[in-house]
Structure 1
Amino acid sequence: MTKGSVRSANGRPHSTTGGRPPGRPAHADPSTTGGQMTTGTTATTPTGPAPLRRPQWVRVLLVMLRALLVQSLWFWVWVLVPAAVAIVLLDRFGDLDMSVVQFARYGGIWYPFALSFIGVGIQFTVHVANGLTRRSYIRAVLVTTLLIGLAYAVLMTAAMVVERAVYTANGWAPYTSGHSASLVAGAGSLFAATALAFTAGGVSGLLVGIAFYRGGALRGFLALPLTVSPAVVVMLLTDDVAAGRDWTFPATVSTVPLTAALCLALIAAAATAFHLLARSAPVSKGLATS
């Protein structure tokens, strides 16, 4: 045993010069740790469950929906308020012989089309350049388009039902003499037809946007007959339902199921084409570095 050390109770040498036994960690002063003996290297262990993290495409979806919410509200304000004013003016100074709200259907098709077309050019590059996947963008933008189409259809159907009640209460022609907007097909069929038309407009806008993004101005322009056709064809197929008559194609008892199936097939084909083009689209270097 060397100088400056003594034997402890277990027979091992113990330094008396201020050192600590080998292998033993230093302890903090209990007065500075609330009376608890802790080591300087002890890590804090989480006591609660780990927070749930949404999938990437869901986070992108929520961002897109928040951005479109304000735009959609303003769109319907600018559609429905002038429609109400037009009904009052036509009743007092003209002939009120047709539905006014029915014309909002065309805005409900082409406004989402325009937003989708512009959105691809702006969002796609920023999305991928920030390290997010193409898959998350494709999934988020398609779900957003579907939800916007359904929401627009709900508002359009509600507006038509309210207008019908007002026309009926005042004895005005369109809902009493079987004219264009008589809603003979019912609110359910009207909702289905407008949901298909509005969704087709949005998906077709995505297809036009990605065609221009990948192919440039000339190729995108030449592809318009194909990329715009889903919106145009679905709009024409469902036109008579929005006008209050039966479905347009074909004029048989099985009109509604066959037309609905054809519309769904066109929307699915357009969404698939967008997916195939977007998943391998190269990022525009000019926008990515700006």
Structure 2
Amino acid sequence: MTTGTLDQSTRTTRRPAQWLRVARWQLETGVFLMLWAWGLITVLVVAVLAIVGQSVHVVVSGFAISHHGLLWFPFSIAIMVTVTYLPLHVGSGMTRSSFIKAALLGNVLIGVLNAAFTMVGLLIEREIYHRLGWFHGSTNAKGVEVLDGGALTYGIGLTLLFVSGMLSGLLVGVAYYRAGGWWGTLTLPLTLLPIAVTSLIGLVDDSQWSPWDVSFAASWPASELFTGAVLIAAAAVFALLVRRIPIDT
């Protein structure tokens, strides 16, 4: 056997780690679904503003209204990842450890991508509003522009919020799968804690969108650091719950 044959054999047998392959598949699937959501949101925002702008002076951001969809739709996807894909993953002979790593990486990246898409949309929308003489108003604070506290601050808050939604979705899914319907429902106050903590104390910008329109006074960077620690803890809890989870066959 020649050296060239050995090199070729080495190249053909060297594959990415199992969890990376699974993470790539989950990310590709998630991005495919989100591309439809992003396209639908863009079309709806443009259409509504084009129609409404003909008769009234627009004072609210269209993209800011879409935040609910980009929090709760991916949240439901994260639930399905745990409830439907986990048993298939383990039943196919793959490890729980690879599922944990792949699910966390894939879902966190989906949250980050949703925040990036929204920020690009908000920045483009703001320029259009200003050119048309419209007010790029927040949906939470009257008389305040969406990015009044700065695009970076808003973007960080939105990233934390969307990532918290994905982590809560994973926790909700594993709670229902592991404990059943009743206990899964009763533990919702716990599994939704990442979203609650982020929306209540993790947003320092007064114009920042919150799913419950309620937030306490927060200061940068203490609130973001605390929120980040809570999200890391949520990821650790998910890993612990999945590591020894019994799989229905």
Q: TM-score, normalised by structure 2?
A: 0.88
In the TM superposition, residue 182 of structure 1 has moved relative to its aligned partner by 3.7
Match of 2:67 among 95, 105, 109: 105
In the alignment, which residue of structure 1 is the partner of 2:243? 279
In the alignment, which residue of structure 2 is the partner of 1:227? 191
Which has the larger displacement, 43-52 or 141-150? 43-52
In the alignment, which residue of structure 2 is the partner of 1:25? none
Amino acid at match of 1:47: L
In the alignment, which residue of structure 2 is the partner of 1:47? 6
- Of Structure 1 and Structure 2, which has the larger fraction of its residues in helix? 2
Any residues of structure 2 matched to 1:103-182 within 5 Å, and which?
103-174=65-136, 179-182=143-146
In the alignment, which residue of structure 2 is the partner of 1:28? none
Report the Cα distance in structure 1 between the residues aligned to 2:27 and 2:105, rounded to whole angstroms: 10
Report the Cα distance in structure 2 between the residues aligned to 1:180 and 1:238, rounded to whole angstroms: 19
The answer to whether structure 1 residue 250 and structure 2 residue 233 are counterparts is no
In the TM superposition, residue 250 of structure 1 has moved relative to its aligned partner by 2.5
In the alignment, which residue of structure 1 is the partner of 2:25? 63
After superposition, give the CA deviation of every residue in 1:22-64 in whole Å (9 maximum; x if it has no partner): xxxxxxxxxxxxxxxxxxxxx7883325122111100111111
Check the 8 A contact 1:97/1:172 in 2, yes or no. Answer: yes
Percent identity of the aligned residues? 31
Report the Cα distance in structure 2 between the residues aligned to 1:157 and 1:242, rounded to whole angstroms: 17
Structure 1: tracts of 5 or more residues without a match: 1-42, 286-290
In the TM superposition, residue 229 of structure 1 has moved relative to its aligned partner by 2.1
Report the Cα distance in structure 1 between the residues aligned to 2:123 and 2:84, rounded to whole angstroms: 37
Which has the larger displacement, 137-146 or 265-274? 265-274
Match of 1:87 among 29, 39, 49: 49
Check the 8 A contact 1:98/1:179 in 2, yes or no. Answer: no
The structure number with the bigger radius of gyration is 1
In the alignment, which residue of structure 2 is the partner of 1:4? none
Report the Cα distance in structure 1 between the residues aligned to 2:19 and 2:111, rounded to whole angstroms: 19
Structure 2: tracts of 5 or more residues without a match: 210-214
SS at match of 1:92: coil
SS at match of 2:221: helix
Check the 8 A contact 2:200/2:216 in 1, yes or no. Answer: no
After superposition, give the CA deviation of every residue in 1:51-90 in whole Å (9 maximum; x if it has no partner): 2211110011111112112101001111121111121222
Check the 8 A contact 2:20/2:102 in 1, yes or no. Answer: yes
SS at match of 1:173: coil
Check the 8 A contact 1:149/1:198 in 2, yes or no. Answer: yes
Check the 8 A contact 1:135/1:279 in 2, yes or no. Answer: yes
Report the Cα distance in structure 1 between the residues aligned to 2:97 and 2:166, rounded to whole angstroms: 19
Bigger RCO of structures 1 and 2 (CA < 8 A, at least 6 apart): 2
Which has the larger displacement, 99-108 or 209-218? 99-108
In the alignment, which residue of structure 2 is the partner of 1:37? none
In the alignment, which residue of structure 2 is the partner of 1:189? 153
Q: TM-score, normalised by structure 1?
A: 0.76
Match of 1:207 among 171, 174, 183: 171
